[in-house]
Structure 1
Amino acid sequence: MFVHKIDEEVSLKLIELKDAERIFELTNNSREYLREWLPWLDTVTKIEDTKDYIKLSLKGFAENKSLNTVILFNGEIVGVADYHTINWSHKFAYIGYWLGEKYQGKGIMTKVAKALTDYAFNELKLNRVEIRVAVENKKSRAIPERLGFVNEGRIRQAEWLYDHYVDHIVYGMLAEDWNKK
């Protein structure tokens, strides 16, 4: 099983079906907060929806196409972070993440994004990592900016968010630039 210790407080663990109850609880408790930027909240209304997501995640992992992890903070699940897609032909991955509302502002997600980026380059031997973020999502945009990702441009109307489109900023990092740091 995939487990990646980041520091004494934060680690990542491959998502498992036994995590469904906690992930659903975390989603439910942060629903209004998360809904501002995540388009899937209305499709997760019962624990079975979370279980279906986990099964799909595990299938992607088994097929070597993605890696979905839970974020552990002092041993407690506080969010999810993943490589949405791992493209082995072109050697790149997309990182995605969300954190329960009460765990914001502790530096957790910056540590997680840094660890996933480092793992992608140094363990998986990928060449490129992308993080795509809604233009107005300043908290989420601060993460790749803090880590030195390059703002590579804006994708207009990249995502339908309940009743409107949002533009995304594409942040990219190359292995050669990451490893120079």
Structure 2
Amino acid sequence: MKFSFIKISLKGFSENKSLNTVILFKGEIVGVAGYNNINWANRTAYIGYWLGEGFQGNGIMTKVAKALTDYALHDLKLNKVEIRAAVGNKKSRTIPERLNFVNEGTIRQAEWLYDRYVDHVVYGVLKEEWNKI
């Protein structure tokens, strides 16, 4: 499974469609984060992340999401960054909320997860909004 993730990540990166990175904390790999997709036509990046359970609650992912947002909007010159999270995933939803992303709505049955469909809350921030934060 992990090798297919690496293979897909390398393919997306080589095609300039995505970017996945590991998260290091005190010299240890504790998670992954990046752009699941970069839509160059609409200048939008979609951030995705996963953090090991034992490392949650330390502000790590908030710092990572902030850095990814900064990079997308300033260095890649994109206009918008989105983060989508399952409605019931309060920890994941806290990250864009803490970074002042706007709740743009809910997509019903957006993902097959845990043997059922889950709804996603879509959070977004525009370059002009981010520059004011």
Q: TM-score range by the shorter chain?
A: over 0.9
C-alpha deviation, 1:56, in angstroms? 1.2
Helix, strand or coil: the match of 1:110? helix
Query: Over alpha carbons, which structure has the higher Rg?
Result: 1
Paired residue for 1:53?
5
C-alpha deviation, 1:164, in angstroms? 1.4
Q: TM-score when scaled to structure 1?
A: 0.72
Structure 1, unpaired ranges of 5+: 1-48
- CA distances 1:99-119 after superposition (whole Å, capped 9, x unpaired): 011111110000000000010
4+ residue segments displaced more than 4 Å: none
Correspondence for 1:77 among 26, 29, 33: 29
Structure 2, unpaired ranges of 5+: none
Helix, strand or coil: the match of 1:142? helix
Give the superposed CA RMSD.
Answer: 0.8
Structure with greater proportional strand content: 2
Helix, strand or coil: the match of 1:139? helix
Count the aligned residue pairs.
Answer: 133
C-alpha deviation, 1:162, in angstroms? 3.2
Helix, strand or coil: the match of 2:32? strand
Paired residue for 2:106?
154
C-alpha deviation, 1:123, in angstroms? 0.4
Paired residue for 1:167?
119
Looking at structure 2, the residues matched to 166 and 55 of structure 1 have their Cα atoms a distance apart, in angstroms, of 27
Give aligned-pair identity as a percent. 75
